[in-house]
Chain A
Amino acid sequence: MDFSFYFDLPLWIRTALQGIAVIAVLFPISAACSMAERKVAAWVQGRPGPNRAIVPWVAPIPFLGRFLQRLGVFQLMADGGKFVFKEDVIPGHVNKFYYYIAPLLALIPALTTVTVVPFGAYWDAAANTLKPLILADLDVGLLAVFAISSLGVYSIIIAGWASNSKFPFLGSVRASAQLISYELSMTLSVLPVFLWVNAPGGNGTLSLFDVVQTQSEPGFLGGMWYLFLMPLSAFIFLVALFAETNRQPFDMPESESDLVGGFHTEYGEFKWSLFFVAEYAHMLVGSGVFTLLFLGGWNPLPWVPLAPLIEGLPVWLGGVIGIGVFLGKVFVAIFFFMWVRWTLPRFRYDQVMKIGWQKLLPLSIANLIFYALAIALIETR
């Protein structure tokens, strides 16, 4: 298929279209994630979860209508409607400007990081090579993700400060401390991957697409996902990811049991739901990055790369398969997030700090040294 007509469009239209696409895809997925969260929570606790809401024109469909109702799909619409139509209550003591701007700020990094994450690949017959499906194929890839997603904490800090009350403030202070603590380990944990990807002498890259490509090579080591090659890195990255996305057991900024609602205590209705969307978007991007780095991206199975499978297929079908495989892995990762959330109790704040600085950081440094030495050994042989 020829996408050239798209690239012929003026840049601003393309940008706008891409932006709308991001919103149009990410919002529903985030919403679906929140629904899935409720369902998983319910199932783990032996409940059926939301299963009542239905829209009248679906109700008569014999089997499907009932199924969707039981699945709670329409609860999503009901909740969304509720958020939109709820009375907009603003506490009297807040700083209005920052209070309003915080949820919007939360969305910006969440939506921006998506652009640099490849979400699939297609076979470019002309170039006879696999091309990533990505909105902005930056060479700095992962660095961009790290850089932008870290900005998310600003919205939390601003929300906590603008709310002008104790609990939100505590929540936001915790959020920033936590972010700093785990950012280090996270970055250090992925360094071995890029040491391995960037063979000495070659062109240095931080592109996530290249990371996947190096997991799709022939041979035992080449086809192996980095999850198996560097399990400790994967583990540290995962733990740090939990902490970065403020998910249980690291959801210090919210921490309902000691901080009421944490940084969003004073928020309600649509503004609150924006925080929620941002959290799920973070989770989504985080899962995507994890998939790309350690789970072989769009490669269906270890040692089974995507490229040979879709080589002969129409371009669009190959792309869809690539996206499907990738999204499947992301959803598994997200399910894992939820599963953990409804299993583990929250750490104490001091434990969170301790784990971050005293356990995870030394571990990731040791990990880096180990792989640096190992890679040096292997490469110089």
Chain B
Amino acid sequence: MAVIPLERKPLTFAERTYLPQIAFGLKTTLRHLVTPKETLEYPEQRPEIPAGYRGVPTLVKDPNGREKCVSCQLCEFVCPPKAIRITPGEIAPDDPTAHVEKAPQEFEIDMLRCIYCGLCQEVCPEEAIWLQNQYTMSGYTRAEMVNNKERLYELGGTLPDDHFKWDKKKSAEEQGNAH
């Protein structure tokens, strides 16, 4: 390894008294003293959430109000800290979405475990779970920090849908290629 000796200039007398540097430093801090503050005063002021932000994972409905999750449990499987817990269930035959057959009976995300990695959103074949803009989760008990299905839909709301896969399926079933 090549060693390059750098010559260190001896300090001048003024430098050795520290005083000019101190004065310079005082000037700098004085300037900062009067410049506007950088702080974002959090609860009142909120940062702008950039697109693609990974906030609290939520469940969403499609524009027709159908719950998109079919409880395939892929998110439960992929979730690295095992934050997701799903109880799968069958949709009642008299339900308008009975052709989807499967929906979660219970869906819990333990936000004390969640690491906001977004893998659940990535893996979801139904585009039902989204990490949206919500970034604050707080509670007084552990139980409060577990988002159940109801809360997840409340947080998630409705997102636009590009496919309407199940609606297409239903219309195909009704008038489509059956014989």
Contact = CB atoms under 8 A, between A and B. Distances in A.
Q: Do A and B come from one complex?
A: yes
Interface of A: 40, 43-48, 51, 339-340, 342-344
B92 interface: no
B37 A46 contact: yes
**Chief secondary structure at chain A's binding surface:** loop
A340 B35 contact: no
A46 B38 contact: yes
Interface of B: 22, 25-26, 28-30, 32-35, 37-39, 41
B22 A43 contact: no
A44 B32 contact: yes
Given A44-B29, A340-B22, 17 more contacts: A40-B33, A43-B32, A43-B37, A44-B32, A46-B37, A46-B38, A47-B37, A47-B38, A47-B39, A51-B41, A339-B26, A339-B29, A339-B33, A342-B29, A343-B28, A343-B29, A344-B22
Chain B interface SS verdict (over half)? helix
A48 B33 CA distance: 10
Contacts of A46: 32, 35, 37-39
Given A40-B33, A43-B32, A45-B32, A343 B38 contact: no
Contacts, number: 35
Contacts of B22: 340, 343-344
Contacts of B35: 46
Which 9 pairs of residues, A with B, have the shortest CB-CB distance? A46-B38, A343-B29, A343-B25, A44-B29, A43-B33, A47-B39, A48-B37, A48-B39, A44-B32
Nearest to A347: B18
A17 B32 CA distance: 44
B37 A339 contact: no
A343 B33 CA distance: 11
17 contacts: A43-B32, A44-B32, A44-B33, A45-B32, A46-B37, A47-B38, A47-B39, A48-B39, A339-B29, A339-B30, A339-B33, A340-B26, A342-B29, A343-B22, A343-B25, A343-B26, A343-B29
A340 B25 CA distance: 9
Contacts of A339: 26, 29-30, 33
Nearest to A235: B19
A47 B29 CA distance: 13
A342 B32 CA distance: 11
Contacts of B29: 44, 339, 342-343
Contacts of A51: 41
A47 B37 CA distance: 5
A185 to B, nearest CB: 15
